[in-house]
Amino acid sequence: MASLIKHIWKTPVVTEALRPGADTEIEVIARHIDDGARKRLGRSLHIRQVDAGSCNGCELEIGALNNPYYDLERFGMHFVASPRHADCLLVTGPVTRNMADPLKRTYDATPAPKIVVAVGDCAHDCGVFAGGYAVVGPVSAILPVDAVVRGCPPEPRAILLGILAALERRA
């Protein structure tokens, strides 16, 4: 335990800083999201992630949003366990036949106002799985999608951009 404390003490805050001027993409995103989010949902966005049949590549990138480097929490966003608590559905993967109905139910279980962000090429146009016998179609075939994040898999910053876009579309 003593050693752990020592370690914590040594480790600095590794989160990408929001220095004004420094034109890192993340910083731009962050500022936008601040505005967009503030307008839309009072600077608080709770996200429920739904895997509609993805290869988990996107999940890895989404998971990265939680790490100290990207630190999604600082924008007042975080992932929640129940759609009842969520404002935003983050859907990945081509929608498979088994997941089509649960996806719809998840959407209905989410209280309005809510936004849907389709993450990854599969979510956009079923990617390499297009036409597969188990695939119903892209997310847009099931739910009204507010924003699409391209990429296979998309970078965390891209996902942030997507959420921002969705927010602004609604705002």
Partner 1 sequence: MLDLLLVTLACFSAGAVGALATAPWMNLSRLVGNAGALLGALGAFALGLAGLVGGNLQLNIPDLLPIGGVALGVDRLSAFFVVVIAAGAIPAALYALGYTREYAGKHSLARMGFAFNVFIAAMILVVLARNVLTFLFLWEAMSLASYFLVMTEHEREDTVRAGWVYFVMTHAGFAALFLGFLLLTRATGTMDFADWGAAAAKLDPTSRNLIFVLLALGFGSKAGVIPLHVWLPRAHPAAPSHVSALMSGVMIKLGVYGIARVAFDWLGAGPAWWGGAILVVGAVSAVLGVLYALVEHDLKRLLAYHSVENIGIIMLGLGGGMLFQTSHLPGLAALALVAGLYHTLNHAVFKSLLFMGAGAILHATHTRNMEEMGGLIKRMPQTAALFLVGSVAIAALPPLNGFISEWLTFQSLLLSFQISAHTVNLIFALGVAALALTSGLAAACFVKAFGITFLALPRSESAAHAREVEWTMRAAMALLALACIVLGVAPPLTLAPLEATVFDLMGGLADMRFDWNAVVAHDGFGWVAPLWIALGLVAFLVAIPLAPRLIGANNRRRYYETWGCGRALQTARFEYTATAFANPFKRVFALLYRPVKELDIEFHPESRYFVRTIAYYNEGRLIFEDALYRPLLRMIQALAREARVLQSGNVHGYLVYILVALVALLILTV
Partner 2 sequence: MLTEITIELLQLLMVMLGSPLLVGVIRKAKARLQGRRGASICQPYADLRKLLTKEMVIPENTSWIFRFTPYLLATTMLLSALIVPVLTTRTPLGFMGNIIALMYLFLLGTFFLALAGLDAGSAFGGMGSSREVAIAALAEPTVLIAIFGIALRAGTTSLDGIIARSVADPLLMLNAGHLLAFFAFFIVTLAETGRLPVDNPTTHLELTMIHEAMILEYSGRLLAFVEWAAGMKLFLFLTLLSNLFFPWGVALANTPVALFTAFLALAVKLLLFAGAIALVETLVAKLRLFRVPELLAGSFTVALLAVVTAFFIK
- 139, 125 in Cβ contact below 8 A? no
- 26, 70 in Cβ contact below 8 A? yes
Which of 19, 20, 21, 81: binder of partner 2 (CB under 8 A)? 81
100 vs 109 by CB, closer to partner 2: 109
Q: Is 53 helix (H, G, I), strand (E, B) or coil?
A: coil
- Helix, strand, coil percent values for the chain (each to nearest 5): 45, 15, 35
Which of 11, 21, 131, 133: binder of partner 2 (CB under 8 A)? 11
Point out which span in 37-45, 89-97, 133-141, 156-164 binds partner 2 (CB under 8 A): 37-45
| Residue 95 touches which member of partner 1, partner 2, none, C-beta under 5-8 Å by kind | none
Shortest Cβ 127–partner 2 spacing (Å): 26
Residues 21, 25, 28, 31: is their CA dihedral positive or negative? negative
Interface ranges with partner 1 (CB under 8 A): 82-84, 99, 101-103, 105-106, 108-109, 111-112
